[in-house]
């Protein structure tokens, strides 16, 4: 009998991944995030915020589902890298100062995908290789959610944004980091 891919056993990757795989990912990812110099903290955040980062720490709301916490840890790690890596600083200007909506959306999409690549690289560094499709689907789902927000100025229903079979996220080498406090940014 051939191996059956996990998503074929468990249904939709996003929102239904087996807890055992996520517990392993969580332990390894936490270790990797800390080894890269970031602090992980849990704090009650005001909705709709699910996580925040400030260049020194990644804060997750404990009321968010465990699967979402796993994704947020990886994704906010990626964004944290972007804000404290001197070699990436030039990429943040358009994100913060572009008034042309179409150009902003293009820059935002590139920003989100780059952060996802750093999250995938972290997974590689800590030895997690069996969750690529899950993470890629989560990244695609997150982008659909963020894009929906910027198109309507309202948070869409998360379940309506779930993607299965999304494009694979490629690992991106993590550049040198110089930790410093930045303006608090958040995930919603």
- Whole-angstrom Cα distance, residue 60 to residue 33? 13
- Whole-angstrom Cα distance, residue 136 to residue 132? 6
What is the predicted pLDDT for the residue at 75?
97
Lowest mean pLDDT among 10-14, 60-64, 130-134: 10-14
> Is residue 6 within 8 Å of 18, Cβ to Cβ?
yes
Q: How confident is the model at residue 19 (pLDDT cuts 50, 70, 90)?
A: confident
Residue 106, pLDDT above cutoff 70: yes
What is the predicted pLDDT for the residue at 32?
98
Mean pLDDT over 152-162 rounds to 94
Residue 96, pLDDT above cutoff 70: yes
Tokens of 89: 């600083």
Residue 69, phi then psi, degrees to nearest 5: -60, -40
Residue 11, pLDDT above cutoff 60: no
- Whole-angstrom Cα distance, residue 98 to residue 104? 6
What is the predicted pLDDT for the residue at 49?
94
Q: What is the pTM of this model?
A: 0.90
- Whole-angstrom Cα distance, residue 135 to residue 144? 14
Tokens of 113: 């995908």
Helical ranges in the chain per DSSP H: 6-10, 19-35, 66-84, 92-97, 101-125, 132-152
Lowest mean pLDDT among 19-23, 53-57, 67-71, 133-137: 19-23
Angle at 45 between CA 183 and CA 83, to 5 degrees: 25
> Is residue 140 within 8 Å of 109, Cβ to Cβ?
no
> Is residue 143 within 8 Å of 78, Cβ to Cβ?
no
Q: Which tens digit of pLDDT belongs to each residue from 24-44?
A: 999 999 999 999 999 999 999
Average pLDDT, the chain: 91
Mean pLDDT over 101-108 rounds to 94
Closest alpha carbon to 56 in 85, 84, 26: 84
Q: How far is CA 20 from CA 64, 69, 132, 186, in A?
A: 18, 14, 16, 28
3: helix, strand or coil: coil
Tokens of 172: 């991106």
């Amino acid at each position: 009998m051939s191996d059956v891919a996990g998503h074929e056993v468990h249904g939709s990757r996003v929102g239904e991944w087996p807890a055992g795989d996520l517990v392993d990912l969580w332990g390894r990812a936490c270790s990797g995030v800390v080894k890269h110099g970031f602090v992980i903290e849990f704090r009650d955040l005001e909705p709709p915020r699910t996580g925040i980062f400030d260049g020194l720490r990644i804060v997750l709301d404990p009321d968010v589902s465990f699967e979402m916490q796993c994704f947020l840890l990886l994704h906010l790690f990626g964004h944290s890298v972007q804000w404290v890596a001197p070699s990436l600083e030039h990429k943040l200007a358009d994100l913060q100062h572009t008034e042309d909506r179409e150009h902003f959306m293009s820059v935002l999409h590139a920003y989100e995908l780059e952060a996802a690549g750093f999250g995938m690289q972290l997974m590689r560094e800590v030895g997690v290789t069996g969750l690529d499709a899950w993470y890629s689907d989560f990244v695609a789902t997150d982008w659909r959610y963020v894009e929906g927000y910027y198109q309507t100025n309202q948070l869409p229903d998360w379940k309506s944004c779930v993607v299965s079979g999304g494009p694979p996220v490629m690992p991106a080498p993590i550049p040198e980091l110089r930790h410093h406090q930045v303006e608090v940014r958040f995930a919603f």
